[in-house]
Amino acid sequence: MKDISEFDVDGRRVLVRADLNVPLEGDVITDDGRIRASVPAIEELVGKGARVIVVAHLGRPKGQPNPKYSLAPVAKRLGELLGADVAFATDVIGDSAQAVVEALQGGQVALLENLRFEPGEESKDDAERAEFAAKLAAFGDVYVGDGFGAVHRKHASVYDVPKLLPHAAGPLVLAEVTVLKKLTEDPPRPYVVVLGGAKVSDKLGVIGNLLTKVDRLLIGGGMAYTFLKAQGYEVGKSLLQEDQLDQVRGFLAEAAKRGVELVLPVDVLAATHFAEDAEYEVVDATAIPADREGLDIGPRTRELFASRLADAKTVFWNGPMGVFEFEAFSGGTRAVAEALIRSEAFTVVGGGDSAAAVRRLGLPEDGFSHISTGGGASLEYLEGKTLPGLVALEE
């Protein structure tokens, strides 16, 4: 993949596909990590005199304009981080976008409205997607793909537009690919992966692939209860995917066959109900009361997981250990994060909720070797899938 340095962009219009899909409460951004991660590419282009047109998505508006998913708050925050006004177009390829792009001078930045307001962005119809891509590409002289969190999507702005313009990968995408290659091409051992989050089904492919590569797999979060149930234990009202039990039994057998140490919780915080102020007790993971639900790993599990991370040379972590948004049930996620910070291993936080948890819990981001901006993209890469956005940038 080419990088930005290979292009003379002075005075040229550079279309930057960024990942600005941040969580919002109303019009308040609750975690600006992805915006901050996009700043270096934009600053580099501004410094070279480019007219920078940023395009991105937010949420799932399903091809229709929806004020709930407007990028207007993002434009404001991006301007604050850049220390300069960011012109905002109230549409994607309409009159507002045309006017904003035409008015842009060298060294200035504009952000177009949410790409997913246009049905062509996510269309499964190649012709419809290509038609939208052509209109979007008309705004730029050069394309820079820097939205790693979207490279696993075959969307117009990710896959089709770079085919129409001279293109390069931004620093964020290049950094992410370098890190993921470290995780997949002869990583230093012991190689330990920590997986959490709500659903086993979200990580089926990556678990299956990782069982052929890792030395140790630690399972926490909501998905752990399906593993415990697959072993025949009572999990009460805990999150459970009954339809995945056979698949999980297969994982347990495969891990044993390959000599992969698969570590499950030994105790959990069993709550009366799903709420921040719910009463809870610490119980053995093999004896969760029928009227309780596990909302976090317990103190013995926190110590167990920390001990199984202590000698690691490479660690990939994706998914919280409990409901970290609730203070009472954030301790397990904090314990895993702090174990990684203490570690001398090459440590990668795999984006999504894990990255959000690091920031929400006030932990130092520089305590980890790398915090990914692309949860789904990272997992699909580790699963061994071909990512359309990377293919387009490599051509």
Tokens standing for 173? Answer: 């995408």
Q: How many CB atoms lie within 10 A of CB 280?
A: 19
Residue 159 · residue 357 · CB < 8 Å: no
205, 208, 376, 384: the active-site residue: 376
Cα–Cα distance for residue pair 361/367, rounded to 1 Å: 13
Q: Starting from the edge strand earliest in sequence, which strands make up the sheet with 370-371, in order?
A: 261-263, 216-219, 191-195, 314-318, 346-349, 370-371
Whether 11 sits among the annotated catalytic residues: the reply is no
34, 229, 237, 302: the active-site residue: 34
CA distances from 249 to 196, 201, 205, 245 (A): 17, 13, 15, 6
- Binding-site positions for substrate: 19-21, 34, 57-60, 116, 153
Whether 259 sits among the annotated catalytic residues: the reply is no
Q: What is the 3-state secondary structure (H, E, C) of 187-218?
A: CCCCEEEEECCCCCHHHHHHHHHHCCCCCEEE
Whether 199 sits among the annotated catalytic residues: the reply is yes
Whether 249 sits among the annotated catalytic residues: the reply is no
Beta bridge partners of 144: 16, 168
DSSP letter for 381, please.
Answer: H
Burial 229-261 (b: 16+ CB within 10 A, else e): bbeebebbbbbbbeebbebbeebeeebeeeebe
Cα–Cα distance for residue pair 103/53, rounded to 1 Å: 11
149, 221, 322, 352: the active-site residue: 352
36, 76, 199, 300: the active-site residue: 199
Contacting residues for 393 by C-beta, under 8 A, at least 6 apart: 1, 2, 145, 151, 162, 167, 168, 169, 173
- Binding-site positions: 19-21, 34, 57-60, 116, 153, 203, 294, 325, 351-354
CA 327 to chain centre: 23
- Binding-site positions for (2R)-3-phosphoglycerate: 34, 116, 153
- Binding-site positions for ATP: 203, 294, 325, 351-354
Residue 33 · residue 359 · CB < 8 Å: yes
Catalytic residues: 34, 199, 352, 376
